[in-house]
Structures are given as C-alpha cells and as structure tokens.
Amino acid sequence: MKEFNIAVMHGDGIGVEIVNASLEVLEKIGEKYNVKFNTKNALLGGAAIDATGIPLPEETIKICKESDAVILGSVGGPKWDSLPGAKRPEKALLGIREALGLYANLRPAKVYEALKDACPLKDSIVNEGVDLLVVRELTGGIYFGERGRVKKDVDSAYDTESYDVNEIKRIAHVAFKSARQRRGKVTLVDKANVLESSRLWREVVNEIHKEYTDVELEFMYVDNAAMQLVRKPSQFDVVLTNNIFGDILSDEASMITGSIGMLPSASVREDSFGMYEPIHGSAPDIAGKDIANPLAQILSVAMMLRYSLDMKEAAEDIERAVEKVLKDGYRTADIYAEGMKKVGTKEMGELVVSKL
C-alpha cells in the first residue's frame, strides 16, 4: 500500500473546523484509492504562540520538512492583534514558506455551474466557462528587490524589479507541468514592451517551452490581461506571471468566482512538495460556530493530491463530489441563496464524503 506523510497545521479560528472537515475527505480518499495518509499535527500562528510563545516553532518546520505535503488552515485573530509585528501569527506564513523554499503560488479560479449567480460577470461571459490557474512567482521581483529613499532637491523613492534566469526557469517548469495536468496552455503575462526584466522572462520561458512542446505557450501584456480576464476569462488555462502582477491578477481572478469560501491555493517548489491552504483568513467573526464553508479547504486537499502526490484521479473525484453537493442544492451560509438547503461546516464535509 502506498503511504504519504502529511503535516497538518489547523491554525486558528475557522482553520480548526475546516481542516477537520477536509481530513475526513482525505481519509475517504485513502480508503477508496488504497493509500495510507500518515497525518501529523503541527502548531502555527496563534495556536503556536499560545503553546510555545512564538508563531513558528522549529518543531513545526521539522514536521513539515519530514512530510510529503502540508495542509494549512488559516492563522490570526483578535486575541493576538496587539502583539508587535514580528510576533504576530501572520508572520508565521512568510516564515514557513521561506523555511520550506516555496517560491510558486498556485491559485485556481473556477466558477461552479451551481454558483454562477455569485459571479459578477454577465451570463454570456460566464457561460463560456471560467476555470483558470494563476501561477505567481512568490519570493522575488519588486517586493524583494532593492529599495530606498533619495534625498535631493525633491525627495524620491525607488523599488527594483529584478529576476535572474534561475528564478524564472524554476517557475516556468511549475507552470508548464501544471498545464499538463489541466488543458495544456500557458499564458505568460508581462510588460515586455517596456520592462527589461519582462524581456528576460520571455526569453527564458521560450527556452523552457522547448521541453514542453505538448503545451501551448502565448504571451500577453499585463494591461491587456487585466482586461481579458473580465472580457473573456474562458481563454485562460494557466497564467504564469511575476510576483507583483500575480498579486493583482490573482485577486481579480478570485473576485470573478464571487466566493471567498470556495477558493483553494498552493505554495510549491520544483520537487512537487507543497503547502495547501484556502485563500481566505481565519474568519474570527464566525469561528467555532460550525457555519464556515469548508469547501476551499477541501479543494486545497484536492490540489495536494494533484500536484504533490500525483493522484490526479482522486483530485478530480473530490472536485466532482463538491460539484455534485452544490448541484443538489446544499449551501453553507456564505453561499446560501433562497430555496437552497442550508448546512453547517461539518455536514458540508460529510456530504462531500458521501459523494466520493
């Protein structure tokens, strides 16, 4: 029997409830596909502060490093809001990504047939289908480049966008491999008509493309991409881009889907290891009430199966189960509409399990 070690960080707030719901789904997948998932809990964020005094204990990094993949809920909450920046739960998020060398952020945006009304775009656009994946570089570019203030006659400030060939190569591989698991198309989004760094991205991505001739590659300027995302999102499969453009476009793409409780994400590196978490936070306003939507967390588990554990079929199985539950009219409070059946976190998880 195949075995995988999975580190599990519930985190804070609704993280605890939604991760528990997703673990039931994982258990069912284990039974169905004859795979053993050895899960090990690790502390992160506020939960870690309460137990150890710091948001990211060494023990947590060790447990993650010894695993094949990591499941994360969400961290933070009012209880820790008065702590100084470096000691806050959210600090652990950057820290754990850095410690694990996770430089690529994968954020899918998909509009579910049953939730089409939540999408702010016109029916004629949505009906063509919205199912894309933003692959964003996470540890380089202008957010990490040299910056400063210059005091002359008039004060000025600068930030620097800089990438080296290796940084671009490694994320290009992630994008092309992801496209192979999807519909086989990569769109590199850049500003190559103006920026030298973008021109380097094009050169390098073109070169790496030679190893993935089965995948289609196209180029698009970022201003046009921002427009095309709302004009004709169906044209996109994998959108590959740098840190700053990815930051902006992934938020735009997630808005198109209309529901924060439905969107998973992954932070990965070249060797298929990754950390999987919903895009939303710990929602302290609804924590502990069994009303949070666990689907983003459950879909994060599906992403883990696809990208880290090479279990594409099982991933699709979960995605289909989620679609069936929605089609049957079950909704948590955040996506509830009149005439539907309102369910809580736990029940939503159980419904997904029942469809597997």
Annotated binding site: 77-90, 97, 107, 136, 223, 247, 251, 281-293
Query: Which of 282, 302, 348, 353 is close enough to bind ligand NAD by CB under 6 A?
Result: 282
Q: With CB under 6 A, what is the number of residues at the site for ligand NAD?
A: 21
Local structure of 150: helix, strand or coil: strand
Q: Which positions from 85 through 124 interact with ligand NAD, judged by CB under 6 A?
A: 90, 93
Strand partners for 106: 135, 266
Q: Give the count of beta carbons closer than 10 Å to the beta carbon of residue 221.
A: 16
Residues contacting residue 156 through CB under 8 Å, at least 6 positions apart: 149, 150
Q: Is the Cβ–Cβ distance between 292 and 286 less than 8 Å?
A: yes
- Told to check if 75 binds ligand NAD by CB under 6 A, we report yes
Q: Which positions from 217 through 276 interact with ligand NAD, judged by CB under 6 A?
A: 260-261
- Told to check if 25 binds ligand NAD by CB under 6 A, we report no
8-state DSSP, 310: -
Q: Among all residues, which ones are annotated catalytic?
A: 143, 191, 223, 247, 251
- Taking CB under 6 A as the binding criterion, the range among 97-105, 173-181, 210-218, 277-285 that sits at the site for ligand NAD is 277-285
Q: Is the Cβ–Cβ distance between 276 and 301 less than 8 Å?
A: yes
Extract the annotated binding site for NAD(+). Answer: 77-90, 281-293
- Told to check if 300 binds ligand NAD by CB under 6 A, we report no
Opening angle at CA 175, ends 173 and 178, nearest 5? 105
* First-residue to last-residue Cα distance in the chain: 20
Please, what is the minimum distance in Å from the beta carbon of residue 235 to ligand NAD? 29
Query: Which of 242, 254, 293, 300 is close enough to bind ligand NAD by CB under 6 A?
Result: 293
**Comparing C-alpha atoms, which of 66, 10, 21, 69 is closest to residue 305?**
69
Interface residues toward ligand NAD, by CB under 6 A = 14, 74-77, 90, 93, 260-261, 277, 280-286, 292-293, 296, 334
